[in-house]
Chain A
């Protein structure tokens, strides 16, 4: 089958604000305001999920929009605007997190070589079944920066594996591993112990 970009489920607007983008590029403050009002809530929620605290998320949102003003000229109008926005946002958030060195080092270099534990399917099902979104969000907050970032990029902003690889600075083939490990970490956080995640089937 032909290559195809997955649909952006969480994109704030289905139609591209081409006119506003063009005017904002030309320096129209009104158009810029339009774009801000349209996209700031989505970008804020992205940061809210990706960053450890609310203050961090607010700061990051502002910084991203300041950055966007200068970067708007680089935006390729033939591509999705929200996808591009999320890419800029992801790069910015990951830059901050990395600079703070709160990533978990065990994840970075040697994860590729670590064997992946396999869950027991029925136990996994049970674990997932009764969980509310609220619980998941609380669990996400307990997670390492990189694992959380990966999940947010994939399941909030629906970024492609290539885009995630690009943002995190890993090889594309490794994105699946990062995501799977992130899920394991989430399960641990959800359960509060490692029992289920580690309970291998094979």
Chain B
């Protein structure tokens, strides 16, 4: 087929023609071939045939667009449905947990609080009212507070960026801030006294609420509204017609408060008359022999003695509780030690949960004997319920991990990855495990920080569990090898979590295992968060994804017609 003049010219082989058509030859070679096919009929035919073959192949491949089989079309929907099922289960279990928690702990506590004259908003108000009058709060704008704000800001940003659109996230933050600001603004018709020493003289009458902040505070006069005090040393010998709220080092109330007394004090002594309830958090609480409390007492304190007259119930939690007075209602005590003196007189039942058996004087007048329940320490290994609960907890853990991993798969993988940098993870773990709650509590003290501080504590608490899931996954990967696929990853997580949970239930050692696991996991999570904010460093740490280099021999000459 070759033309007469081409005898000495070597014809193109099929390989060369193919590479030319596929533009895989360099420019010079492409021109050579182009020039040859201009003259050589046979090679031109070959080239054309190959090109037609290419077109035929491409057409055969691309035509007949078979629709996606229904099995595949439903595949994603099915996956979603199975996820919905998991979500349903997760929410169901969460709801059950919340309900159990609510009925078991929160509701009784809330009832006690309500009995003591609190509603939910009041409690928040109390916290917020106290804050601005706390003496040393300005000096608290320290490194720790900034740290807490930064940590939570970062977490919040990450979370909000994903879950909400930008506008609504901002709106949410502003709404929270405004709500926090509005509450103190409502009670603006007040009188404010400040100073190192503040005294309300005996004949002085304050016709509104009174806010006092100072080192030494004496209220001998009359306050017709509420009295809010923050100070080192407070004595209220006068008459408060409203409630008294206090956050102080030492408080003495020889006077009369017609409303309730609520607040925090290192040391609180009530000698006078309180019209309604007393609720205190403090180191030392004394209800003096001469005191009369019109309502009930709720006290959380290291040492409490109730020697006065309480019309209604007493709820006390603390180290040591002494009852020497008259209680018109019931007494619920949860303490290390309970002493009931000979002068005591209790009309209702006495329930006591504690370590030591109660010391009850024979002369004490009790409506019924003290019901004592010894507080159990540690798990009861002989009880079947213990094992059932362990299994339920285990399932909850795996489910929690599943939810987290499917919510943020990339972050979970990173955290697992960083968990294997043992030193850094453990070091950071110590810092975050102890530092964050301290910082969050400090943030709670300031007005704006309250919302942030409480949220930080929630996130921190959740991350204690997440830490165990992460370490479980690391253990699972040790045993079963690494993977980056979703379900195998979940499988390793489940196996690892089972092992970690088993280790944490070993008597004596288990607690320490748990501690180390949490420390390590928290460190890994923090490291992953930390690296998130250093994108350059993070990419250097992660293995680079393989990408082909651009081809260095490509383009050919123009195709012959």
Which of A's residues lie within 8 Å of B, judged by CB?
A: 1, 3-6, 9-10, 25-27, 29, 32-33, 36-37, 40-41, 44-45, 48-49, 54, 58, 61-62, 65-67, 69-71, 73-76, 79, 116, 118-122, 124-125, 128-129, 131, 133-134, 136-137, 140, 151-152, 154-156, 160-163, 166, 172, 176-177, 179-180, 183, 186, 201-202
Q: What would 11 A/B residue contacts be, using CB atoms closer than 8 Å?
A: A10-B61, A27-B162, A36-B76, A44-B72, A67-B485, A122-B45, A122-B49, A133-B59, A151-B57, A155-B61, A186-B57
The smallest beta-carbon distance between B39 and chain A, in angstroms, is: 15
Given the contacts A6-B23, A124-B49, A41 and B547 also touching, CB distance less than 8 Å: no
- From A6, A79, A131, give the contact of B547 (CB < 8 A): A79
Picked from A4, A25, A37, the residue with its CB within 8 Å of the CB of B554 is A4
- Tell me the bound Cα distance from A183 to B55 in angstroms: 12
B188 on interface, CB distance cutoff 8 Å: no
- Asked if A121 contacts B42 (CB within 8 A), the reply is yes
Contact B14 A119 (CB under 8 A): yes
Nearest-CB distance from A49 to chain B (Å)?
6
- Cβ 8 A contact of B548, one of A62, A124, A162, A183: A162
Q: What is the distance, in angstroms, from B161's C-beta to the closest C-beta of chain A?
A: 9
In the complex, chain B residues whose CB is within 8 Å of the CB of A48: 66
The dominant DSSP class at the B interface is helix
Docked pose: A137 CA to B548 CA in angstroms: 30
A176: which of B22, B48, B52 is its contact (CB, 8 Å)?
Answer: B22
A121 touches B72 (CB 8 A): no
**Nearest A residue to B409, CB-CB:** A27
Q: Which residues of B contact A128 (CB under 8 A)?
A: 49, 52-53, 56
Shortest A136–chain B CB gap in Å is 4
Q: How far is the CA of A131 from the CA of B52 in the complex (A)?
A: 11
Q: Mark B539-560, 1 if CB is under 8 A from A, else 0.
A: 0000001111111101100000
Choose among B11, B46, B76 the residue that contacts A33 (Cβ–Cβ < 8 A): B76
Kindly state the separation between the CA atoms of A119 and B72 in the bound complex, as whole angstroms: 42
Do residues A121 and B484 form an inter-chain contact, with CB atoms below 8 A? Answer: no
| Residues from chain B with Cβ under 8 Å of A67 in the complex | 485
Interface residues of B, count at CB 8 A: 66
Provide the bound-state CA to CA distance between A121 and B80, in Å: 55
Contacts of B485 in A (CB 8 A): 66-67, 69-71
Q: Please state if A155 and B67 are interface contacts (CB–CB under 8 Å).
A: no
On chain A, the residues within 8 Å of B56 by CB distance are: 128, 131, 133, 136
Question: Assuming A48-B66, A140-B60, is B410 touching A73 (CB within 8 A)?
Answer: yes
With A116-B13, A156-B61 given, is the CB distance from A176 to B19 under 8 Å?
yes
Residues of B within 8 A of A54 (CB): 69
Interface members, chain B 2-27 (any A CB < 8 Å): 11, 13-15, 18-19, 22-24, 27
> How far apart are A146's CB and chain B's nearest CB, in angstroms?
16
Residues of A within 8 A of B484 (CB): 70-71, 73-74
Query: A156 near B408 (CB under 8 angstroms)?
Result: no
Cβ of B24: which chain A residues have Cβ within 8 Å of it?
161, 176
> Which residues of the other chain, A, contact B42 by a CB distance below 8 angstroms?
121, 201
Q: CA A163 – CA B61 in complex, angstroms?
A: 19
CA distance A124 to B53 in the complex (A): 9
Question: Which A residues are in CB contact (< 8 Å) with B67?
Answer: 41
Cβ-defined contact, A29 with B83, below 8 A = yes
Contacts of B19 on A, CB cut-off 8 Å? 176
User: Per a CB cutoff under 8 Å, which of A3, A27, A70 touches B489?
Assistant: A70
* A139 to B: closest C-beta gap in Å: 9
Q: What A residues does B189 contact at CB under 8 A?
A: none
Complex CA–CA separation, A155 to B50 (angstroms): 13
The distance in angstroms between the C-alpha atoms of A55 and B483, with both chains bound, is 26
Docked-complex contact B548 and A160, CB < 8 angstroms: yes
Q: List the 3 shortest-distance A-B pairs measured between CB atoms, nearest first.
A: A136-B60, A121-B45, A133-B60
B63 located at the interface, meaning its Cβ lies under 8 Å from any Cβ of chain A in the complex: yes
Beta-carbon contacts of B404-426 to A below 8 Å, as 1s and 0s?
00111110010000000000000
Among B13, B68, B69, B486, the most chain A Cβ lie within 10 Å of the Cβ of B68
B551 touches A58 (CB 8 A): no
Any A CB within 8 A of the CB of B508: no
Is B54 positioned at the interface, with any CB of A under 8 Å from its CB? yes
Interface 1/0 per residue, B74-94 and A, CB below 8 Å: 011100100100000000000
| Chain A residues, CB < 8 A from B410 | 25-27, 73
User: A66-B485, A116-B15 are known contacts. Are A162 and B549 too (CB-CB below 8 A)?
Assistant: yes
Beyond the given A69-B486, A70-B484, please list 18 additional residue pairs across the A-B interface where CB-CB is below 8 A.
Answer: A4-B555, A9-B58, A29-B80, A32-B76, A41-B65, A41-B68, A61-B75, A71-B484, A73-B409, A75-B545, A76-B545, A79-B547, A120-B1, A121-B43, A124-B50, A133-B60, A136-B59, A177-B15
